[in-house]
Amino acid sequence: MQLKGLSPAIGAVGTETSQRFLASAYDSVEAVLENLSKIREIRRAQGTGDIRGRLPPNEEDLLRAAVVFTGAGLDSVLKRLIRDTLPLLLEMNDQSHKKFEAFAASQIGTGEIADTGALARYLTSASPRDRLIEDYIYSLTGSSLQSADEVQKAAGALGIDDSELRQRIGGLRALFVARNEISHELDLQQTERQGDRTRRTRSIAPTKALCHEGLEVGQLIINAVASKLAG
């Protein structure tokens, strides 16, 4: 295995699909890293280059793919988890419900100014509460969750108040910085001197650590929600 295993999954009704998504993301990242390992083994056997030191561009690209797959996997896992479990959590978790109340208040208006259009839309719905929940879920899942702050917001909506887990979510900033540098900039950087590399350096051990932590945090979030649903 190229990646360490994740924490054991805690099963609960509502988390099955997000757990499956996480397993698929893990397998995809593992496969990319396994391909990298095989390429390096071939290069070593053929004696076509020193495998020590900085990786050649094609091998660094596999590390970049692993980072992007990790970010995309975590995004999919959290969105699925929110869609499948948030309506259940609103019935049993005070923190989740308070976040929902704050969202409802923001939709209807602020202070003494009411949004009459929003009020009319909700009041004329067959179920105003269901309509609000739909809008709340869309506000949490309508765009990519590709920053530590966005994952923190999702965790708060899911009622996760464990300080250690919230600290680990904050620690994902390095993963998302790397993901955004790769996805939006292709790791290209301004060169200062002749001979400087035009792309950022990616190395194996730090990249594996980033990917594993991103996937592990995804598992811990699923487990935290599963524990709340199980009562």
Q: How large is the average pLDDT for residues 63-68?
A: 98
Band the pLDDT of 127: cuts 50, 70, 90.
confident
* Residues 43, 132: Cα–Cα separation, whole Å: 57
Lowest-confidence segment of 11-25, 100-114, 161-175 by average pLDDT: 100-114
Residues constituting the chain: 231
- Residue 32 has a pLDDT of 98
**218 touches 77 (CB < 8 A):** yes
Question: What mean pLDDT comes out for the span 193-212?
Answer: 89
pTM of the model: 0.91
Residue 106: band (very low, low, confident or very high) from pLDDT cuts 50, 70, 90: confident
Between the two ends of the chain, the Cα-to-Cα distance in Å is 35
Collapsed DSSP state (helix, strand, coil) of residue 33: helix
Look at residue 144 and tell me whether its pLDDT is greater than 80: yes
- At 110 the pLDDT is 61
- What are 215's strand-pairing partners? none
Average pLDDT of the chain? 91
Q: Which of 17-21, 109-113, 157-161 bottoms out in mean pLDDT, i.e. has the lowest?
A: 109-113
* DSSP type of residue 199: B
Q: Looking at the predicted structure, is the pLDDT value of residue 120 above 70?
A: no
In sequence order, what E strands does 98-223 have? 109-110, 113-114
Identify which of 101, 91, 90, 86 has the alpha carbon closest to the alpha carbon of residue 221: 86
Answer whether 221's CB lies under 8 Å from 89's CB.
no
Which pLDDT score, from 0 to 100, does residue 190 have? 80
Q: Please state, in angstroms and as integers, the Cα–Cα distance from residue 167 to each residue in 36, 43, 60, 190, following that order.
A: 31, 40, 29, 33
Residue 159, judged by CB atoms within 10 A of its CB (0-12, 13-18, 19+), counts as buried
User: Minimum mean pLDDT among 96-105, 127-136, 140-149, 190-199: which range?
Assistant: 190-199
The pLDDT of residue 46: 82
Average pLDDT in the 39-66 region? 86
pLDDT, position 191: 77
Residue whose token pair is 């390429």: 39
pLDDT exceeds cutoff 90 at 109: no
Dihedral over Cα of 71, 218, 62, 24: its sign:
negative
Residue 6 makes CB contacts below 8 A (sequence gap 6+) with: 22, 26, 215, 216, 219
Angle (nearest 5°) at CA 102 between 99 and 104: 110
pLDDT above 90: residue 189: no
What average pLDDT score do residues 215-231 get? 96
